[in-house]
Chain A
Amino acid sequence: MSELITSSAAQLAAKLAAGEVSAVEVTQAHLDRIAEVDGAINAFLHVNTDEALQVAADVDKARAAGEELHELAGVPIAIKDLIVTKGQPTTAGSKMLEGWMSPYDATVISKIRAARMPMLGKTNLDEFAMGSSTEHSAYGPTRNPWDLDRIPGGSGGGSAAAVAAFEAPLALGTDTGGSIRQPASVTGSVGVKPTYGGVSRYGAIAMASSLDQIGPVSRTVLDAALLQELIGGHDPRDSTSLTDPVGALADAARNGNVAGMRIGVIKELQGEGYEAGVQARFTESLDMLRDAGAEIVEVSCPNFKYALGAYYLIMPSEASSNLAKYDGVRYGMRELPAEPPLTIERVMGATRAAGFGDEVKRRIILGTYALSAGYYDAYYGSAQKVRTLIQRDFNAAFAQADVLISPTSPNTAFKLGEKLDDPLAMYLNDVATIPANMAGVPGISIPGGLSDGLPVGIQFLAPAREDIRLYRAGAALEGMLEQKWGGPLLASAPVLGGVK
């Protein structure tokens, strides 16, 4: 494979800055890779060839003219198709928005444009980000580069697979219950869910507003840090966005170190329900961290056992409301009822019946029920109380530890179709990632090795606004593991396409 596509974003940035390669060459190399392998992977719903090359050419021109450029200028990026972009379609993986073009850019997209990163295209996802396998996309599933018969995780399977298959050095994802971290885990890539409010949600199509967060997907911890520094920060268009400074995340990633760090092992997020291979890689990581001078402590978060149940009340409740706007009146799909009369209620009904897939309908129905008069207190109200309890668990745990650690997902990538008819089994994939969303704390997943030839993810969690700790701990573990493996984990992934 060309070095241009196996290089990390930081390496590409250095080569571009030194004039060793042009942005057009880098972008074209990735477009070529997409053309070569994406027929098999299906990570991209839209490839943005012309605009990406134009942006790259402009970067080269600007650099030649001696203009001051952002560090990531000319480094290509893929965008989860839940994030709206002017000039490219945005579908949310749904038939409902097929052909829809956003009249505005998400705040993160404006920042990417300002940094002059060529956008390679829009990546596949479970419809409206509802799923853990990308099988719920209306445009066909994405496949895991490690084994094309397996799922790439979800909902952001497209972004993770694109990065893992060297189609893009960086991607944007969104994480409501694990949609960045779980795909990173099962594809051997790095994914970060920043602190809630750390990155503007303006322009991220909402699933569950109080849980959704945009974050970076990459192949290295440093690359994720560079991207989060770019996209983070306060946005007056998002009332829930934090006013805190983003922090020197890349510095932390360049200086990974766990000496003296207290790392809390969450008792409830291991053992039963976790595959043996996953548990083994997790234990090895703990040993490695201990050897590097970390103090490993066990912490208990007894209310985490209610997290999944509470999540599946809050998330569908908010989703049922956020998805009410897709009714065929103003934009997107409009389906007319088969029989007259053509009343507005019947057009809305026909549109929603035809436009949404089963998983979306399942969650809308769940949420509508949970918010109904007479049930609200028992369902939504109780779930909010659980949320408070989970926050307290985190507070107590962070009193004992600087960061927490767990496997990202209880299992490695499963086979396509394996859990499609069993929603509960599917939902259990997110059991370790959901608590962070419920409490608004940041989390990172980094590759922890292989189990039966499939990647295992290790998750670090930090207190809200302390994303910097994730990068310090994540980079330290990444460095030790890569030393052990003799290179990045993805270097051992099956080679797709022709060898160049």
Chain B
Amino acid sequence: MSVHIQDETLSFEEAMEKYDPVLGFEVHVELNTKTKMFSDAPNIFGDEPNTAVTPVDLGMPGVLPVVNKKAVEYSILIGLALNCKIAESCTFARKQYFYPDTPKNFQTSQYEDPIAYDGYLDIELEDGTVFRVEIERAHMEEDAGKLTHMGGAAGRIQGADFSLVDYNRAGVPLVEIVTKPIEGAGSRAPELAKAYVAAIREIVKNLGVSDAKMERGNVRCDANVSLRPYGQEKFGTRSETKNVNSLRAVERAVRFEIQRHAAVLDSGNEIVQETRHWHEDTRSTTSGRPKSDADDYRYFPEPDLLPVVTTTEWIEELRSRLPEPPAERRKRLKEDWGYSDAEFRDVVNAGVMEAIEETIAAGASAQVARKWWMGEVARRAKEAEVDPVDVGVTPELIVELDRLVQTGKINDKLARQVLDGVLAGEGIPEEVIEKRGLAVVSDDGPLLEAIDAALAAQPDVADKIRGGKVQAVGAIVGGVMKATRGQADAGRVRELILERLGVSA
């Protein structure tokens, strides 16, 4: 058992007064090709363990890799979307290390000559500021298998009784996107970190080359952080926080590392160059293994593969297939939907733009879609501390709830209860309405009884209305709604009251 040691941290504000943060990111994107990077096994991680494998994926004796052309195309598309140059010819190399999730005990990756290099991405921050992140390279490689450590301490390899390996993920095509050092972000470093990863996720999703679900590991971020005193040119020693797998965690991990580094530097100690592990529960990182630039992976050119050669025609054909860039798309959607600048920014920052787009596509109006995603869904997300898109609400569900409200079957308040029921697994909305008895009371009989009771309870108000003060009807409506536990259609109640009192609306 290892003892968990909580590192000292400085407050973020104090850290920012003293030190200038430099960031760097390695983002791994799993491509959603039909087959794997070097074999014809299906790319369907998540199935029954060790079923989506061929002898190639298991590193059987005698097997040879063959490059998946679709994966190369997807990689070029990513490169082009990141404004990169595309290599005319590039090679694969073997990165060698012994680990049981790597069936050959080397990973086939690109080393000296990546498929894409020298690009940039303009990142829009929450207040609309645009920050340019330089991309050093985007290269192709294969994913490793998945290890599950059994027994011992909390799923870690240390202290485990044994470990299980699932090679379904082994050989899944990856593109690793590496930034140049990002300087000048200052106190906006955590925000930039989140926005950068969100932008990458958005781009690969928009390109259709990845499912781009961070919670499933389709997009994984390693965040490098170092600090230096203001005015110093030389970078400080960096730490690399591995596999930070949600946007929120990226922001928090960078913030934490800045605070931790600052405390270490403040105490006169040196930062250890190492990998760190992010823990969502404690919102802190712990030391992984020491990492030095001299890690010896004994790279050498993969002799079983020929260089990947790209032609201008091929690249231009792929360029012509690039979808509308996300920034332009946002501008277009904002206009289409008629949202104000502030409304649209809130939507983007809440990460629900796609969800709204899908909801509109499913049949809702722009206003209804925004009302739901920024209102009820956002509220629930905040409560559960998850992203709104992870609450479990689908665009189709919103459209259905809206339809039920529009047709008067339920009202907004009841719709929230219906949503409760759907999320609790009680079935589709109609079934929840049935089971919970939530339908708006539309039979006038019970309503008239309630109205008469309410009028009898407040005779002075009834008189005022009769006397022409129609606006006083609200008090009676309220009484009826209370008596019917909100299940009445307020509009209909108002009509009936005025009818009852012989007053025209």
Contact = CB atoms under 8 A, between A and B. Distances in A.
Whether both chains belong to one complex is answered with yes
Most buried by A among B62, B98, B165, B300: B62
Interface residues of A, number: 43
Nearest to B58: A330
Interface string B71-109: 000000000000000000000001010101001111000
22 contacts: A84-B60, A84-B62, A100-B61, A102-B55, A102-B60, A102-B61, A202-B64, A236-B66, A238-B66, A239-B306, A320-B298, A321-B96, A321-B106, A321-B300, A327-B100, A327-B105, A330-B58, A330-B59, A330-B103, A371-B96, A371-B299, A380-B300
A348 interface: yes
Contacts of A210: 303
A104 B96 CA distance: 26
B296 interface: yes
B62 A203 contact: yes
B63 interface: yes
Contacts of B304: 206, 209, 239-240
Interface string B287-318: 00000001010111001111000000000000
Interface in A209-241: 209-210, 236-240
A485 interface: no
A331 B103 CA distance: 11
Interface of A: 83-84, 90, 92, 97, 100, 102-104, 106, 201-206, 208-210, 236-240, 317-318, 320-321, 324-325, 327, 329-331, 344-345, 348, 368, 371-373, 376, 380
A83 B61 CA distance: 9
B106 to A, nearest CB: 6
Given A97-B61, A239-B65, A331-B58, 12 more contacts: A90-B62, A202-B64, A206-B62, A210-B303, A240-B304, A240-B306, A318-B300, A325-B59, A325-B61, A327-B100, A345-B98, A373-B296
Contacts of A348: 98
A127 to B, nearest CB: 13
Contact of A205 (B61, B100, B298, B300): B61
Contacts of A239: 64-67, 304-306
Interface string B129-166: 00000000000000000000000000000000001010
A344 B105 CA distance: 13
A102 B104 contact: no
Given A344-B163, A371-B300, A372-B298, A324 B104 contact: yes
Contact of A325 (B64, B65, B103, B303): B103
A371 B95 CA distance: 11
Contacts of A325: 59, 61, 103-105
Most buried by A among B105, B163, B165: B105
Interface of B: 55, 58-67, 94, 96, 98, 100, 103-106, 163, 165, 294, 296, 298-300, 303-306
A371 B298 contact: yes
B62 A373 contact: no
B58 to A, nearest CB: 6
Contacts of B96: 321, 324, 371
A106 B104 contact: no
Nearest to A323: B105
* Among all A-B residue pairs, the 8 with the closest Cβ atoms: A324-B105, A209-B303, A371-B298, A210-B303, A203-B62, A325-B59, A205-B61, A373-B296
Given A240-B304, A324-B104, A344-B163, A331 B298 contact: no
Nearest to B55: A104
A85 to B, nearest CB: 10
A348 B392 CA distance: 44
A104 B100 contact: no
Nearest to A241: B64
Given A103-B60, A239-B64, A240-B306, A317 B300 contact: yes
- Main SS class of interface, B: loop
A239 B69 CA distance: 12
Contacts of B163: 344
Nearest to A96: B61
B61 A376 contact: no
Most buried by A among B65, B98, B305: B98
A97 B61 CA distance: 9
A372 B299 CA distance: 8
Nearest to B101: A329
Nearest to A384: B301
Contact of B62 (A205, A330, A344, A371): A205
A324 B61 contact: no
Nearest to A373: B296
Given A210-B303, A376-B300, A90 B61 contact: yes
B64 A237 contact: yes
Contacts of B62: 83-84, 90, 102, 106, 202-206
A266 B413 CA distance: 94
Contact of A344 (B59, B61, B100): B100
Contacts of B66: 236-239
Most buried by A among B64, B163, B294: B64
Contacts of A345: 98
A106 B103 CA distance: 19
Given A239-B305, A348-B98, A372-B298, A202 B63 contact: yes
A6 B499 CA distance: 116
B106 A324 contact: yes
B437 to A, nearest CB: 58
B254 to A, nearest CB: 30
Contacts of B64: 201-202, 237-239
Nearest to B40: A237
A121 to B, nearest CB: 18
Contacts of A92: 61
Nearest to B167: A330
A368 B60 CA distance: 21
A201 B305 CA distance: 12
Contacts of B98: 324, 327, 345, 348
A103 B56 CA distance: 11
A458 B115 CA distance: 46
Contact of B303 (A100, A237, A318, A373): A318
A261 B205 CA distance: 63
A172 to B, nearest CB: 13
Most buried by B among A205, A318, A329: A329
A84 B106 CA distance: 22
Contacts of B55: 102-104
A324 B300 CA distance: 14
